């Protein structure tokens, strides 16, 4: 079974990225699954127009993935743009993608509603994502609930292509971890860079404290018992805690005598300690781009070999013979 995922280098990695995707990938990798993981820098161009910023963000993302447990010896790990076949497949698949399919895409409508400029790259984003998935004959794609539709679109496109040319493209399945499918941000909505509600994994101590301080709470007085079930602080904290630790934290809420500031301070300590080792590795890789380049080049070579196998079949089926 081959599992694939990609994350954009369009900003600092946050808790949503980690718990909804990266953590699953590391666990699957260490469990013996065949893992393909890439940095989606073409996708990032829909929101990042500064070339220098995108280049630096790509290195930062590579450093972060390695620091958080991606092992280039166990997984195929590369930068999306290093395998140009993805753009060729993107164009070919566009000919099998009904406009209505893209017009129903939630991500596009949501972003336009939030003020993003309506552009072709944003509109055709699901086709490029389909190319990412199908190029490597991926069986499983770990996603949050809001991304399930993109995997379904990839399946629909693959079915149309296969109906025309035979069973060439593998139909992928979405994998959702129900417990952490959607990680809440500081405002209670889905954690997203686009919404400005993130808690960043590799933030310095001052920034982390500031971000956690923005978590929205109610106005219950310090001495009063507090509702933990719908508290944003508790919902984020439980991602890091085992059952006993969750029960202990819930008991503190119910007892009263502590304000939300105490619980924010507790969450700050939990996050800082959890990512301590990863922060050290991140700083090392991000300061040694030559080492990163070697790792990424090797990963791109492995990914390209798989991409060429598929594209030979696609070109033969579609008549692209030169």
Residue positions annotated with a catalytic role: 111, 190, 193
Say if CB 104 and CB 144 are below 8 A apart: no
Element (DSSP H or E) covering residue 301: helix 289-318
Residue partners of 289: CB distance under 8 A and separation at least 6: 59
Complete DSSP assignment for 4-23:
EEEE--SS--BHHHIIIIIH
Please report the DSSP string for 220-271 in residue order. Answer: --TTS----TT-HHHHHHTTT--HHHHHHHHHHHHH-S--HHHHHHHHHHHH
Strand partners, 2: 34
**Which residues sit opposite 184 in a β-bridge?**
190
Could you tell me which residues are beta bridge partners of residue 272? none
C-beta contacts of 270-279 below 8 A and 24+ residues apart: 270/237, 270/240, 270/241, 271/15, 271/199, 271/208, 271/212, 271/240, 272/205, 272/208, 274/240, 275/201, 275/202, 278/67, 278/68, 278/69, 278/201, 278/202, 279/67, 279/202
> What angle separates helix 106-113 from helix 148-165, to the nearest 10 degrees?
140
Number of other residues whose CB lies within 10 A of the CB of residue 287: 10
Single out the residue of 90, 69, 71 nearest to residue 80, CA to CA.
90
- Planar angle of CA 18, 282, 196, nearest 5 degrees: 45
The phi and psi torsions of 221 (rounded to 5 degrees) equal -65, 155
């Amino acid at each position: 079974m081959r599992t694939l995922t990609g994350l954009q280098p369009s900003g600092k990695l946050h808790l949503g990225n980690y718990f909804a995707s990266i953590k699953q990938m590391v666990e699957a990798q260490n469990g013996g699954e065949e893992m393909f993981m890439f940095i989606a820098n073409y996708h990032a161009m829909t929101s990042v127009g500064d070339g220098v910023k995108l280049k630096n963000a790509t290195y930062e993302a590579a450093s972060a993935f390695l620091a958080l447990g991606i092992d280039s010896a166990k997984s195929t790990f590369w930068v999306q743009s290093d395998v140009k076949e993805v753009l060729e497949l993107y164009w070919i698949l566009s000919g099998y993608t009904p406009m209505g399919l893209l017009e129903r895409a939630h991500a596009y409508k949501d972003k336009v509603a939030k003020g993003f400029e309506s552009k072709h790259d944003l509109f055709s984003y699901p086709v490029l994502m389909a190319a990412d998935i199908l190029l490597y004959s991926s069986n499983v794609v770990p996603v949050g609930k809001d991304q399930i539709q993109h995997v379904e679109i990839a399946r629909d496109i693959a079915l149309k292509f296969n109906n025309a040319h035979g069973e060439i493209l593998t139909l992928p399945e979405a994998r959702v971890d129900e417990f952490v499918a959607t990680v809440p941000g500081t405002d209670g909505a889905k954690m997203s860079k686009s919404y400005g509600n993130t808690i960043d994994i590799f933030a310095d101590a001052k920034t982390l404290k500031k971000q956690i301080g923005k978590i929205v709470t109610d106005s219950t007085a310090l001495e009063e018992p507090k509702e933990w079930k719908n508290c944003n602080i508790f919902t984020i904290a439980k991602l890091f805690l085992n059952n006993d630790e969750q029960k202990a934290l819930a008991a503190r809420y119910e007892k009263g005598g502590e304000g939300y500031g105490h619980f924010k301070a507790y969450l700050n300590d939990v996050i800082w300690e959890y990512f301590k080792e990863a922060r050290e590795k991140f700083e090392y890789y991000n300061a040694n781009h030559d080492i990163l380049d070697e790792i990424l080049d090797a990963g791109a070579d492995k990914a390209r070999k798989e991409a060429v196998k598929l594209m030979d079949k696609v070109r033969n089926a579609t008549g692209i013979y030169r």
